[in-house]
Structure 1
Amino acid sequence: MLISSINYWLVHHPIITNFEWNPEITHFSSLQFLILTTLTYLSLTFLLSHSSLSPLPPPLLRFISAVHNLIILLLSLVMAVGCSLSTLTQMPSPHWIFCFPANQTPPRGPVFFWSYIFYLSKIVEFIDTLLIILSGSLGRLSFLHVYHHSTVLIMCYIWLESSQSLFPVALVTNASVHTVMYGYYLMCTFGIRPSWKRLVTNCQIVQFVFSFLVSGVMLFIHFTRYPCSGILGWCFNAAFNVSLLYLFIDFHSKNYNKKKQLNMVGDKDKVL
């Protein structure tokens, strides 16, 4: 009974099964909307980060952050489950998971519905940046943060616009990582500092490495069996992932190596 209900609400509901990406009728799907939204995000981030805004009172900031983190956590979990079930339902063969046949995979059906929800969720995640600014902790507003948030929206748009192969795998892995990440953020807003902070960054790095491995499967099918849909979009996605992997490894190295060095210095001070 429970499984049937989950399948209905996440796969077989008429809104989901009848979904079709069409820039002329689908809300928030035009190229103009994408450009305007991205430019607005970058402009507001620059202006607000260079203004003299007073930080929000800590209790209010914690409350808003907790609500935001809970929403993204639950949304990420639902997207991961929904896209997984939809892929199993919609795929004509196992190869479809990695490679949509070119010119034979219009952007409609349950899998593309969840890609559309994923695309919209990236706009909601812009609130992350606002919360950093309103906390007064501008040191946390890194290039990696702004670059990731702005470019990933473009990537999701390309998924839908080009019926890009391999995006179901990318969506499920990314949403799963975000479930862990925003779970960590949510606990922090309640004053709980989990010991697995490093796991969050490690999961993000593993996610990118995994994407390169499954991309190898997609390319093998593309060059040996039949052309895959959205190959140019995949090239953009691959270049974006390479840049993110480099930035995440750099972030990981600077933060955790520095922490390790500080701990070593502290240990020497204790001995002395």
Structure 2
Amino acid sequence: MAATALLRRVRWALVDHPVVASFEWQPGRTLGATPSFAAAVVCAYLATVFLLHRRVLPLPTPTPRALRAVSALHNAILLALSAAMAAGCVLSVAATSPSRWWAFCFPPRGETATSGPVFFWAHVFYLSKVYELGDTLLIILGRRPLTLLHVYHHAVVIAMCYLWLATRQSLMPVALATNATVHVVMYGYYLCCSVGLRWPPRWKRAVTELQIVQFLFSFAASVVMLWRHFAAGGCEGMAGWVFNAVFNASLLALFLDFHGAAYAAAKGKRSRGEVGKAE
């Protein structure tokens, strides 16, 4: 009974709350609902990264303790937000989906209204990606290496999330729930690191591999969506899906390259260490 009552309260907060249930994406009126907003955020991000990375702008020098505290708070916020978005999206689909295929294929020809709980969480997800740009600032402040994969991913995901909403992209609920769930694990790991809880190296590798599995899963889900698109009268938001598919393919290639470079090198070091001990 207690679990049922808790689930009822969670569903009210994440699905039935008036703010969530009455949400409507209105181009030009909803926060961030213009291509100029997304473009401005991406351009400002890239310019700031370039200027800070090149030391054109003065770079603050926080104490290690202060930086760890800020990192812990940042990661805790994103952990909680990711969990809320994953749960909110899944419960919203379960409560409002008009058919079992809806999460994979929105009805075409404008039959899908950009309103209701699922689109509320898609909007929250979009805005959360703007907040996630703080990841980069923390890396720069910590004087850690900044990779092309990191900057490219954080910049282009803003455009991707805008297109989800602007084109009513099919597969959006699946992609949102999957990505937010992966981010629960990822930011949970980062939070542990920022508060000094050190995990074995294999856990860091597992986080990277989980992200790779996410992209592979997205392609498997796309097969279902394309089947519905061609066999059942079409799916909404195909232009947005094409952009998303190309972006995911590029991320998969970059993550595989990163995985090979980072963990093959680590394996090589361990092997050389073992040889050294034997000698």
TM interval, short-chain normalised: over 0.9
Deviation at 1:93, TM superposition (A): 0.6
Per-residue CA shift, 1:99-133, capped at 9, x if unaligned? Answer: 00112102111000000000000000000000011
Match of 2:103 in 1: 97
Per-residue CA shift, 1:126-158, capped at 9, x if unaligned? Answer: 000000111111x2x100000000001100000
Letter in 2 for 1:136: R
Distance 2:277 2:164 in 1: 54
Match of 1:70 in 2: 76
Aligned counterpart in structure 1 of residue 127 of structure 2, from 111, 120, 128: 120
Aligned counterpart in structure 2 of residue 111 of structure 1, from 101, 105, 118: 118
RMSD, matched Cα? 0.9
Distance 1:180 1:251 in 2: 19
TM-score normalised by structure 1 residue count? 0.98
Whether 1:173 aligns to 2:166 is no
Per-residue CA shift, 1:222-267, capped at 9, x if unaligned? Answer: 0001110001110000000000000000000000000000000011
Distance 2:222 2:243 in 1: 13
Per-residue CA shift, 1:67-116, capped at 9, x if unaligned? Answer: 00000000000000000000111111111010001121021110000000
Deviation at 1:37, TM superposition (A): 0.8
1:1-272 paired onto structure 2 within 5 Å: 1-51=5-55, 53-102=59-108, 103-137=110-144, 139=145, 141-195=146-200, 196-272=203-279
Query: What 5-or-longer segments of structure 2 have no aligned partner?
Result: none
Letter in 2 for 1:82: G
Which aligned runs of 4 or more in structure 1 are off by greater than 6 angstroms? none
Query: What 5-or-longer segments of structure 1 have no aligned partner?
Result: none
Letter in 2 for 1:39: C
Letter in 2 for 1:101: P
3-state SS in 1 of match to 2:111: coil
3-state SS in 1 of match to 2:101: helix
Distance 2:234 2:246 in 1: 20
Deviation at 1:54, TM superposition (A): 4.9
Distance 1:211 1:27 in 2: 28
Deviation at 1:56, TM superposition (A): 2.0
Contact 1:19 1:110 in 2 (8 A): yes
Distance 1:267 1:151 in 2: 42
3-state SS in 2 of match to 1:26: coil
Deviation at 1:197, TM superposition (A): 1.1
Deviation at 1:48, TM superposition (A): 0.5
Per-residue CA shift, 1:152-172, capped at 9, x if unaligned? Answer: 110000000011000100000
3-state SS in 1 of match to 2:33: coil
Letter in 2 for 1:188: C
Contact 1:55 1:136 in 2 (8 A): no
Distance 1:163 1:54 in 2: 41
Contact 1:54 1:136 in 2 (8 A): no
